[in-house]
Structure 1
Amino acid sequence: MSTQWAIMTMECARGGSGLYNGTATVTLELFEGLMDRVSCPTFGAETDFEVFPKLSGTGIASLVLHALSLCLLCLCLLCSAGSILISLYNSVSNPYETYMGPIGVYVCSSISTCLSVLVLILFVVNVNLTSMAEELVMSFNEDVDLKNKSVEMQVGYYLLIPYAVLSLLALSLIYMYDHAAYTQRREQQRPTEDAPKEIMMY
């Protein structure tokens, strides 16, 4: 979870000067971040910071979205762990006494897939559409003007995509297995009128 999730870069100028000759770069992780200021407004400086304490002193929207993304990510991990534990338990237990069967894995995988997609949306909305980056920079120095924010998503964010794809793959496999089992049961329970006449004579 400590992998970088986003890098936000802005042009920076001393407040009211209109001369945007500096830059401010915010490297964001889930719990920590790095502020790199070059001529913003004076000499360069790199400062580590804790994300939640900094956001709590700025805008409430950014804090809520970031906290919500983190909570949903934790729920994703819990659902994945539940899916794995159910699968392991059923693989070694009595086949006639399985716990929740494929439905348990199906539900856990469905929830984790939906939540991971929701985290992808919430996080990119937070870093792009809110003023989180500007508020973080101004929390270090309020006498600056910022413009032209650019956002580059990093490894931590993109790792959620294969996670969601693998969860969807698990859902597809479970659906195909359940559908095949249902079809087989229907074949075994076909009414006697569908049976050949030679068999019905007996």
Structure 2
Amino acid sequence: MPSSKKILYFISSAVSTAVSVGLLGFGMSQEWSTTTVLCARDGTDEFNGTAAVTMGLFNGSLFRDNCPGCTCGGFYRFQRFKTTGGAPPALHFLSVILLALCLLFSAGSILLSLYNSVSNPYQTCMGYVGVYACSSLSACLSVLVLILFVINVSVTNLAEVVVFTFVSEVELGKKSVEMKVGYYLVIPYTVLSLVAIGLIYFYEHAAYTHKQEQEKPTEDAPMETMMY
């Protein structure tokens, strides 16, 4: 049976990753951002209306306040983007794919941690590298999603594309972006993935230190012992 210390560290790593998966899964079902765009009737410069586009990963909604011609209501992101092209839909699809990979690598990290918690006390499946690789990939990809999503809603014309798919006879002005709970839940996911790496690192360091203490060179032994 493995030592209690090994069980504790690997189980803790698996629990940390499992909690992060739960947070990310919940976040993926929530709203990620709201972009408010000033709008005016086509041919005029009076931007006295607004169109608010609330984004989720799989659906969204458009609401307007004194914005001419806009139809309000919900929409499915993938259906709405079918007829559009360019960078905004591509970045959005890429974000969803990267999040799916995050969940996949996190599942791999959980399985490896659980297996190693009950495996031979002197061996680990794929060494420590398996957990390191899965958790670090999860953390890196989630950070990339954070960057890509902000760029998509702030820099590109994603909100404008959504508005124009409902109505084209409108002029749009400045926009402001507010990130929502779904986006911010990616941050604790990243942190917990790093925590999982840290737990395994501390165990590996402790195991290495213990091994070194057991393999001290004979010159450290007392002279009387060496004579016999």
TM-score w.r.t. the length of structure 1 is: 0.92
- Measured after TM superposition, the shift of residue 189 of structure 1 is 2.1
Q: Secondary structure at the match of 1:77?
A: helix
1-structure distance, mates of 2:201, 2:112: 16
Q: Which runs of 5+ in 2 are unaligned?
A: 1-27
Are the aligned partners of 1:5 and 1:28 in contact in 2 as well (CA < 8 Å)? yes
- Measured after TM superposition, the shift of residue 39 of structure 1 is 2.3
1:40-55 alignment, distance < 5 Å: 40-42=67-69, 45-55=71-81
Q: Secondary structure at the match of 1:5?
A: strand
Asked if 1:79 is matched to 2:105, the reply is: yes
Cross-structure match for 2:196: 170
Cross-structure match for 2:220: 194
Aligned amino acid, residue 176 of structure 1: F
- Measured after TM superposition, the shift of residue 165 of structure 1 is 0.8
Aligned amino acid, residue 97 of structure 2: C
2-structure distance, mates of 1:92, 1:187: 25
Q: C-alpha deviations, 1:129-163, integer Å up to 9, x for none? A: 10110111011111111112111000100001111
Aligned amino acid, residue 23 of structure 1: T
Which fold has the larger relative contact order, with Cα–Cα distance below 8 Å and residues 6 or more apart in sequence? 2
Cross-structure match for 1:153: 179
Q: Which runs of 5+ in 1 are unaligned?
A: none
- Measured after TM superposition, the shift of residue 37 of structure 1 is 1.9
Cross-structure match for 1:109: 135
Aligned amino acid, residue 133 of structure 2: V
Q: Secondary structure at the match of 1:7?
A: strand
Asked if 1:16 is matched to 2:58, the reply is: no
Q: Once the two structures are aligned, what percentage of the paired residues are identical?
A: 60
- Measured after TM superposition, the shift of residue 196 of structure 1 is 2.4
Cross-structure match for 2:151: 125
Are the aligned partners of 2:51 and 2:62 in contact in 1 as well (CA < 8 Å)? yes
Are the aligned partners of 1:34 and 1:48 in contact in 2 as well (CA < 8 Å)? yes
Cross-structure match for 2:86: 60
Could you tell me which of 90, 94, 107 is aligned with 2:116? 90
TM-score w.r.t. the length of structure 2 is: 0.82
Asked if 1:138 is matched to 2:152, the reply is: no
Cross-structure match for 2:19: none
Aligned amino acid, residue 15 of structure 1: D
Q: C-alpha deviations, 1:60-92, integer Å up to 9, x for none? A: 201111111111101111111111111222223
Root mean square deviation, CA, Å:
1.7
Aligned amino acid, residue 221 of structure 2: A
2-structure distance, mates of 1:175, 1:123: 31
Distance 1:137 1:157, change over 3 A: same
Aligned amino acid, residue 51 of structure 2: A
Are the aligned partners of 2:71 and 2:167 in contact in 1 as well (CA < 8 Å)? no
1-structure distance, mates of 2:220, 2:184: 54
